[in-house]
Amino acid sequence: MHNSYTSSRVRRRRDLSHSSSNSILIWQSTVWRSRIIILLLLMGFLAVFIRAFYLQHLDVDTWKKRAITRYTETQPIPAARGKILDRNGEILAVSTLEFKVGIVPNRFSPNSKQINDFAKLIGKSPEDIIKKHQNSKKYFYISSGVNPNIKNQIKNLGVSGIEFEQIYQRNYPYKDAFSTLLGLTSETDKGQDGVEFAFDDQLRGVQGLRFIHVERGNIAFDEKILKEPAPGNDVHLSIDASMQSMVYKNALIAKHKHNAKSVSVVVVDSRSGDILAMVNAPAFDPGKRKNLSLDDIRNRSVTDSFEPGSTFKPFAIAAALDKGLVEPLTIIDTSPGYIKLNGEILRDFKPFGILSVSDVLAKSSNVGTVRVALKLNPSHMYDYYQTLGFGKSPNLPLGGLAKGRLSPWQSWDKVTRATISYGHGVSVSLAQLAQAYTVFARSGDLIPISLLKSNFKRRGIQVFSNESIMSVRFMLERASSSFGTGVKAQVDGFRIAGKTGTAQKAENGGYSKNRYIASFVGIAPLDNPRFVIAVMVDEPKGVRTGGQVAAPIFSKIASDALTRLQMSPNQPKQVLPKTAFLKSSSR
């Protein structure tokens, strides 16, 4: 029993010893675990501290950039486009300051009176504004543009969440009258056609820059101007606004009267070469830009070429006079009303019989012109035409300039030489034709036409002798009298000179039988030439000759232009005898 008791005590001591040992081990394990956790916490805290220190003191610029990228924006500030002005400083195109109106949805909370007043100011219904506001979570525009006065009235409503973005709208005070000349600008204010496109670099200003805050896609109020915008430069044209308006009105009337496809007119100051008017009808309203086509906006006076017909005849006559091959009273036999060349028959519209050179031009005889032109060396004839500017684009700062067609003289046979002399087989633009006629308004020198106002005198290129020009000028006066085809071009109280043209339009390798170009180019007044006026009517219906269609347009425009200048009429006009024509001297 004693042994049993002893054995039990030993076992109990062994169990207690083992239990104590386990407790010590558990305690030691817990202490190390706590220490490890505390160490890990200390290390985590240290890492956070080091990271925070790094971000706040060592990597500030990087995080500033990220914040700026996320919560701020830089936006361009539009610059005012330069004005386009006429020769007298009249505004033809101007950019006016306006403001787009936007709404920040989570800030916009007007009362009923405010919403009604706001809607009235921007021309919307309150219901439309409320509906758009309810359906929008991001910033949106509610009006495309209001003037500064309306902007201030909106601000005075005291409604939060309304913001304004500065824009410029391009306005054209003379609307249709200048549209095909000036062109227009895009929604981004870039020139797209005409003068706006040609001088875009000069007219376009330099944009400014602003710094703004962005909050969840909504633009905040505060902003900082980083760079002020710089406005564009003005462009001064040679055009006279009042004359352009008058010419456009007459061109439009003529288009409707003759149910024509188009009417184009170019008016040039023959003393300086300044273009005073360049008009096309139809034109377009620059305020209504939807669905515009190239046909609507193109400047036909410079982009379209056509066969000039009889308006080309004075150049061949002048060249022959200048070379001493004929004189004004040289007799030309046009019988029997046609001429055969290389199997081709070239006709007059009626037989004229025996004519002097001066009468050939006045009566507009194709046969007589051909007989005179065939006396010229082809290379000489070509040189005259090239010097007059045919076959090459006029030096005008406009896009799409037509250079026309003038084939090299080496390819000319007799028929080509003949048809070119009376304006077939060659094509020109109306601007080219107006420029070429300055030689008849001056002393035989060609002055380059210009669209820009200049204080410098331009120098002309001598093409014909003054004696030859004086002879042709008198011939052109007879051509515009009751003796010639252009009697309807006459202007009450003034002597004028000019030439009619009627040409069938080229079609499918030949000529149309019912589509014509009617034209007239003239000088006014003849005693002291001031204007060269070129008129082209495309596809008039009914009457279709230059004398019936284009000459009256010239008469009305010349009459109005001379009246505006308050030029004194001539003394009662006397009929010029044939002996009044000066003889030309060979050069």
- 167-198: b (≥16 Cβ within 10 Å) or e: bbbbebebbbbbbbbbbbbeeebebebbbbbb
Cβ proximity of 29 and 35 under 8 Å = no
Q: Provide CB contacts within 8 A for 252, sequence distance 6+.
A: 263, 281, 282
Closest CA to 425 of 344, 350, 351, 362: 344
Instruction: State how far the Cα of 176 lies from the Cα of 34, in Å rounded to an integer.
Output: 90
Q: Which two tokens stand for residue 146?
A: 């209001």
3-state secondary structure of 463: coil
Closest CA to 585 of 329, 359, 330, 326: 326
Farthest-apart Cα atoms in the chain, separation: 179
Closest CA to 486 of 257, 311, 253, 269: 311
Instruction: State how far the Cα of 326 lies from the Cα of 318, in Å rounded to an integer.
Output: 10
**Which residues are known catalytic residues?**
310
Q: Which residues lie across from 98 on neighbouring strands? A: 167
Closest CA to 500 of 346, 352, 361, 321: 361
Instruction: State how far the Cα of 396 lies from the Cα of 299, in Å rounded to an integer.
Output: 12
Instruction: State how far the Cα of 180 lies from the Cα of 299, in Å rounded to an integer.
Output: 5
Amino acid, res. 68: I
Q: How does strand 235-236 pair with strand 84-85? A: parallel
3-state secondary structure of 477: helix
Cβ proximity of 402 and 431 under 8 Å = no
Sheet holding 531-538, edge to edge: 275-281, 262-269, 531-538, 510-524, 497-507
Instruction: State how far the Cα of 386 lies from the Cα of 427, in Å rounded to an integer.
Output: 13
Closest CA to 207 of 226, 224, 186, 183: 226
Backbone φ and ψ for 29, nearest 5 degrees, come out as -65, -40
Q: How many CA atoms lie within 13 A of 17 on its CB side?
A: 6
CA 394 to chain centre: 17
Closest CA to 299 of 194, 451, 166: 194
Instruction: State how far the Cα of 360 lies from the Cα of 314, in Å rounded to an integer.
Output: 10
Q: How many CA atoms lie within 13 A of 322 on its CB side?
A: 25
Cβ proximity of 483 and 450 under 8 Å = no
Q: Provide CB contacts within 8 A for 291, sequence distance 6+.
A: none
